[in-house]
Amino acid sequence: MKSSTKNIHVGLHQSDPIFGSVVPPIYLTSTYQFPSVREGALRFAGKSKGMVYSRFTNPTVAALEARLAALEGGEMALATSSGMAAITLTFLHFLKTGDSIVAHPVLYGGTCEFLFHMAKRYGINVRSVDFQDPQKVEAAVDRTTKLIYFESPTNPLLEIIDIKKITAVAKKHKVITVFDNTFAPPPLQFPIKMGVDIVIHSLTKYIGGHSDLIGGAIIGSKKLLEPLFAHSYIFFGPTMSPFTAYLALRGLTTLEVRVKKETETAQKIVKYLKNNPKVSKVNYPGFGGVLSFEIKDGYRAGEKLANSVKVITLAVSLGGVESLIEHPASMTHSELTLEERKNSGINDGLIRISVGLEDEDDLIADLKQAFAAI
């Protein structure tokens, strides 16, 4: 099946075998009845697939996990309470004191905060190198390296990293690759097919698609995810609620058509921005609904532009049906020091826009009047 078909049909009926509802129902139960003590023991031991307790999983959540695994071409998926829960759970499962992780410097703000400011609490060494040069990545790997972590396109500069070259380095040194695919979900790209071991998603963004849920996902092979589930997930407890899973399943059904429309509109906005004399640089990889650009007059001009929009909403996040604008230096990446932002290429005049489903002419007209206010 193609992506758009999987997004509607995978994981649908398995969650409700009795009634066969068209939409997976919300199972609001915290625990499950066992037919016998023996069966309960088998389920706790992981030798039987029946439900145990909703901190572990839930029929609605399981339906979402099945669909997410199919979406990315993985064997297994774990839904989490947020994108950051997915990221930090993965780090804390695979890394211990004395281990190192090699990461690209341009990452989601929350990931940067954890790696560059919090990881040292746990004795984890973080090596930040430019992943656009795979030789630098290889030079940073040593016997302590357990993970290689990156995004592409990157947040918020929309850089493109050669995924296959990075995964080749990782496989050569037997290091696990973890990749945040939030910015370019299928059908835009399929990281597992390019050698990535574990894919992370913030379901809050494109997959949820309506700015009304917080959720995350970890997707990969059973070899990697079954131990993560058994030894970390059920004890850290980053559980997704059944209602959130229901919303994410709903969002998945329209993912492909939303991304297509948002891409078409983003391409036209990029054309307008490239011809704008107040813009010094536009960052856009040619696909997807997220773009960023630099204003020549710096921090105050960026602030003024973001404050002056009327149709576009001043808010963080991305991938929703409404267009959003934000100023990374004062918002999503404000926790980074000036030097860290500089090293990541996040200038004071940088603006990020997530293009929604509004009419393209209305969005461009809104940007025109906002630029006139600078």
Catalytic site residue from 180, 197, 348, 366: 180
96 assigned to active site: no
Q: Which residues contact 222 (CB under 8 A, 6 or more apart)?
A: 75, 76
Is residue 205 part of the annotated active site? The answer reads: yes
Strand 216-220 relative to strand 198-202, pairing: antiparallel
- Rounded CA-CA distance 237/229 in Å is 10
Of the residues 43, 67, 127, 205, which is catalytic?
205
Question: Which entry of 16, 55, 99, 272 is annotated as an active-site residue?
Answer: 55
Give CA–CA dist 124/115, Å, rounded.
9
End-to-end CA distance of the chain: 50
What is the 3-state secondary structure of 205-218?
CCCCCCCCCCCEEE
108 noted as active-site residue? yes
**Residue 55 catalytic?**
yes
> Is the N-terminal amide bond of 185 cis, ω within 30° of 0?
no
d(CA 36, CA 42): 10
Distances (CA, A) of 186 to 71, 74, 177, 210, 319: 7, 12, 18, 17, 13
Catalytic pick among 27, 108, 206, 246: 108
Residues annotated as part of the active site? 55, 108, 180, 205
